[in-house]
Amino acid sequence: MPIDYRALFERLTRRYGAITPEALESVLSPVLIPIRSLDKTIFKATGQSHYRGSFTVSIDPQCEALLAPGRTGKFVPRSYIEGGVWRELAKGRILSVDRAAAVAEGEIYTGAAARKSELEKAFAVLTVHDFLEVDQYGASAKVLSGLVEYSLVQVLKQSGYSVLRMPEDMAKHIGGYAYYDFEVAKGGVIKKLEAKSLWGTNTKFARLIHSLGKGYPTSSCKFLTQDFFAVSLFLRTGNMADFAFARSVPSDVKPYGLPRAEKYPRSCESESDLRDRGREVVRLIGRGLEPAIRDICRHVSPAWAIARMNGSRIWRTSCSASAMRTACSSNRTRS
């Protein structure tokens, strides 16, 4: 059925009044800035802990209002501009701006805790023909997160599950805050599901983290908070409907489980808590999520088959714990 784009635009903008297509595009679409030069010499600056390289971009009317010291962006491949899959090659941060010369200089990095080898891998694929992508108004990451959650809900509903999205905030007089995103139900069984995404340049890992606060002395999620993690594989496959599911259970309880946070050893938990989580559980890969406890993998299409149908490559993990293993703070903690 043909799409009525005028009617679509009117529905999209009704909430915001008489905005122009240019305004909507500017908020939703980051600016793509051509790279002027690259210096792939890797070093650590004095007093800093991260490895970096250097780059320059030209200042033009499209980006002059964005380029200031401290502005960050992502390097994306030219192939994406030409119709390929979006992916992050490395991160960029503006360090200095010379408006008279119309040139901004910056650093190339892959993360505050990244190893030198990670930046070397990024430089192996990053070229001067790629682009620095800068989010103009801070909306694109939130939009992507929302689209991931929408896609997850559609995947679950198509598989016969009912889905309840939990409130983002909760008034004290109503009840306690739910430290998970969705309740997924089928056949009278209800499971708690937390949605996460792959991060940055190293898409082999998902950082299963949580905001620090009361009851969360580290940035790691707790095992008891949710039953499953649903990790979007969009950064790896370019398909919004691809997810990997991991059971929130410790690796010392089940071989396919997730590692504990090193700061909180097993002795911090009571044996009763360990026994409660010692039941038989499974880890699922693909679009479907079956919340029952046993004999359910056969109900779920494997990720590689889904990828074949979608014409994309998928992260093959079987039931290996390393598939969802996190780096540093991505391990789970307990109460």
Out of 134, 153, 170, pick the residue that ends a domain: 134
299 φ, ψ to 5°?
-85, -5
Is there a single domain that holds both residue 128 and residue 151?
A: no
Is there a single domain that holds both residue 193 and residue 295?
A: yes
Out of 134, 152, 169, pick the residue that ends a domain: 134
**Helix (H) or strand (E) run with residue 34 in it:** strand 31-43
> Looking at the 3D structure of the chain, how many domains does it have?
2
Contacts of 299 (CB under 8 A, 6+ apart): 288, 290
Is there a single domain that holds both residue 36 and residue 51?
A: yes
Residues 250/257, Cβ–Cβ less than 8 Å: yes
- Name the pTM for this structure: 0.71
Vertex 305: Cα angle to 303 and 307 (nearest 5): 70
β-strands 31-43, 131-134 pairing:
antiparallel
Is there a single domain that holds both residue 151 and residue 105?
A: no
Is there a single domain that holds both residue 32 and residue 147?
A: no
Which pLDDT score, from 0 to 100, does residue 201 have?
Answer: 63
Q: Is residue 253 part of a domain?
A: yes
Which pLDDT score, from 0 to 100, does residue 126 have?
Answer: 97
Q: Is residue 317 part of a domain?
A: yes
Q: Is residue 248 part of a domain?
A: yes
Is there a single domain that holds both residue 62 and residue 166?
A: no
Nearest residue to 332 via CA among 224, 202, 196: 224
Is there a single domain that holds both residue 164 and residue 306?
A: yes
Would you state the structure tokens that stand for residue 243, as one six-digit string?
């997810």
CA distance 293 to 247: 10
By residue count, the chain amounts to 335
Which pLDDT score, from 0 to 100, does residue 44 have?
Answer: 93
Out of 112, 134, 156, pick the residue that ends a domain: 134
Which pLDDT score, from 0 to 100, does residue 242 have?
Answer: 85
Is there a single domain that holds both residue 206 and residue 322?
A: yes
Instruction: State the residue range of the domain holding 192.
Output: 140-330
CA distance 267 to 256: 21
CA distance 131 to 34: 5
Is there a single domain that holds both residue 237 and residue 94?
A: no
289-326: per-residue pLDDT in tens?
333 322 333 333 333 333 333 333 333 332 222 333 33
Is there a single domain that holds both residue 289 and residue 221?
A: yes
Q: Which residues of the chain have pLDDT under 50?
A: 265-335
Q: Is residue 17 part of a domain?
A: no
